[in-house]
């Protein structure tokens, strides 16, 4: 059992494990909404856009998370507004605006004379570098996210499944949508520590997508997603220790392995693999109606 307990003798590994588990939990819970509401590209966009805020905060010698968080929340709410009014397709708007904001961050970073390594940590994540203050921040924000999800569970479920009926029957769907986007922004910023801008979208999407293949119940999907998120964080962190590799990449690849295992053994008829097999065996016309709809 030495290989399990050994790394935990090191203080930086204890901290890293603490932060990774909390981030894995927060991301996989919020990720359920991200997957069911098709927000994954938005999550990716918010993460990239926040980089400009981080760099600006760095140049002004302010707290990097606060800088990133401000830009992330503004962008998240901006998307909310754009998605309600714009004529441009959402994907296009995100593709243009967020990569531009990211480019601005890169420009500012490359102009800074003392090109610094700790900014690179935000790109790819470095959970081994967390300090006590980071731990407190992650713990507080994870608790806040879980509390909000628990309190608004019924409303968030309703607006995610049937926004029209929910709004007609008096649920404040627009406000809930904005709240969810802000929660997404906060979760992303907190998670940059472990996964970095480039990989954080996977922490959000992969556990939830894994859970989606294994259950037909919303509550169970959230539970399985959380289990996959936390499990991947633990396994990925150990893998990063023994492989001497970046923790973000090992955590994400562990979750991805879960995803493919789930698609292989999914009991649902519409799982990726069984759909392919069914199509091969019986031809497209024989697919159940639900499978055809699910693909749309």
Partner 1 sequence: MSEGKHDHTHVDPGTQAVSRDHSHAMPATAPHLHRHDGHPPGKVLAIEAGARVAIRLEGVCAGYYGRDVLDEVGFTVERGDFVGIIGPNGSGKTTLLKVIAGLLEPQCGSVEVLGAPPGHSRSIGYVPQAESVNWSFPVSVFDVVLMGVYGKLGLFHNPSEADRTAASAALEEVGMREYAGVQIGELSGGQQQRVFVARSLVQDPELLLLDEPIAGVDATSQHAIFTLLEQRQRKGMTIVATTHDLSCVATWFGKVLCLNHHVIAYGSPSEVLTDETLSATFGSHVLVIPEVHAATRSAQH
Using CB under 8 A, count the residues that bind partner 1: 32
Which lies closer to partner 1 via its Cβ, residue 122 or residue 212?
212
Which lies closer to partner 1 via its Cβ, residue 26 or residue 156?
156
- Taking CB under 8 A as the binding criterion, the range among 93-101, 160-168, 179-187, 199-207 that sits at the site for partner 1 is 160-168
State which of residues 165, 243, 264, 277 lies at the interface with partner 1 (CB under 8 A): 165
Tokens standing for residue 2: 């030495």
Q: Return d(Cα 261, Cα 82) in angstroms, integer.
A: 37
Residue 110 as a binder of partner 1 (CB under 8 A): the answer is no
Residue 41 as a binder of partner 1 (CB under 8 A): the answer is no
Residue 164 as a binder of partner 1 (CB under 8 A): the answer is yes
Tokens standing for residue 164: 């029209």
State which of residues 46, 56, 148, 166 lies at the interface with partner 1 (CB under 8 A): 166
Residue 285 as a binder of partner 1 (CB under 8 A): the answer is no
State which of residues 111, 133, 282, 293 lies at the interface with partner 1 (CB under 8 A): 293
Name the residue among 240, 209, 206, 239 with its Cα closest to residue 24: 206
- Taking CB under 8 A as the binding criterion, the range among 74-82, 169-177, 229-237, 277-285 that sits at the site for partner 1 is 169-177
Which residues, 217 to 256, sit near partner 1 by CB under 8 A?
217-218, 220-221
State which of residues 63, 83, 167, 178 lies at the interface with partner 1 (CB under 8 A): 167
Which residues, 198 to 217, sit near partner 1 by CB under 8 A?
212, 215-217
HEC-encoded secondary structure of the chain: CHHHHHHHHCHHHHHHHHHHHHHHHHHHHHHHHHHHCCCHHHHHHHHHHHHHHHHHHHHCCCCHHHHHHHHHHHHHHHHHHHHHHCCCCHHHHHHHHHHHHHHHHHHHHHHCCCCCHHHHHHHHCCHHHCCHHHHHHHHHHHHHHHHHHHHCHHHHHHHHHCHHHHHHCCCCHHHHHHHHHHHHHHHHHHHHHHHHHHHHHHHHHHHHHHHHHHCCCHHHHHHHHHHHHHHHHHHHHHHHHHHCCCHHHHHHHHHHHHHHHHHHHCCCCCCHHHHHHHHHHHCHHHCCHHHHHHHC
- Taking CB under 8 A as the binding criterion, the range among 66-74, 107-115, 163-171, 253-261 that sits at the site for partner 1 is 163-171
Q: Return d(Cα 257, Cα 206) in angstroms, integer.
A: 10
State which of residues 28, 270, 275, 287 lies at the interface with partner 1 (CB under 8 A): 270
Which lies closer to partner 1 via its Cβ, residue 6 or residue 172?
172
CB 210 within 8 A of CB 228: yes
Binding mask 62-91 for partner 1 (x = CB under 8 A): -------------------------x----
Q: Return d(Cα 27, Cα 21) in angstroms, integer.
A: 10
State which of residues 40, 50, 101, 160 lies at the interface with partner 1 (CB under 8 A): 160
Shortest Å, Cβ 166 to partner 1: 7
Residue 5 as a binder of partner 1 (CB under 8 A): the answer is no
The site for partner 1 (CB under 8 A) is made up of: 36, 87, 151-152, 154-155, 157-158, 160-162, 164-171, 212, 215-218, 220-221, 270, 288-290, 293-294
């Amino acid at each position: 059992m030495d290989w399990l307990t050994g790394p935990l003798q090191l203080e930086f590994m204890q901290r890293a494990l603490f932060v990774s588990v909390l981030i894995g939990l927060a991301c996989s819970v919020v990720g359920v909404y991200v997957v069911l509401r098709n927000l994954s590209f938005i999550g990716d966009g918010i993460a990239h856009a926040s980089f400009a805020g981080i760099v600006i905060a760095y140049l002004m010698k302010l707290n990097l998370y606060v800088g990133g968080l401000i830009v992330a929340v503004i962008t998240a709410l901006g998307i909310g507004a754009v998605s309600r009014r714009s004529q441009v397709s959402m994907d296009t708007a995100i593709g243009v605006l967020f990569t531009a904001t990211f480019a601005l961050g890169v420009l500012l970073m490359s102009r800074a004379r003392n090109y610094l390594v700790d900014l690179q940590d935000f790109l790819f994540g470095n959970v081994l570098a967390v300090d006590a203050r980071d731990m407190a921040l992650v713990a507080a924000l994870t608790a806040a996210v879980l509390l909000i999800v628990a309190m608004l569970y019924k409303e968030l479920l309703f607006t995610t499944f049937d926004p029209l009926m929910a709004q007609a029957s008096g649920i404040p769907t627009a406000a809930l949508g904005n709240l969810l986007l802000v929660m997404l922004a906060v979760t992303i910023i907190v998670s940059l520590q472990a996964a970095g801008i480039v990989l954080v979208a996977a922490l959000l999407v992969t556990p939830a997508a894994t859970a989606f293949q294994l259950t037909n119940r919303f509550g169970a999907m959230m539970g399985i997603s959380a289990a996959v998120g936390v499990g991947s964080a633990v396994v990925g962190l150990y893998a990063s220790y023994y492989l001497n590799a970046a923790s973000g990449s090992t955590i994400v690849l562990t979750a991805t392995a879960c995803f493919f295992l789930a698609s292989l053994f999914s009991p649902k008829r519409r799982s990726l693999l069984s759909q392919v097999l069914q199509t091969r065996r019986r031809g497209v016309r024989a697919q159940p109606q639900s499978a055809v709809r699910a693909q749309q």
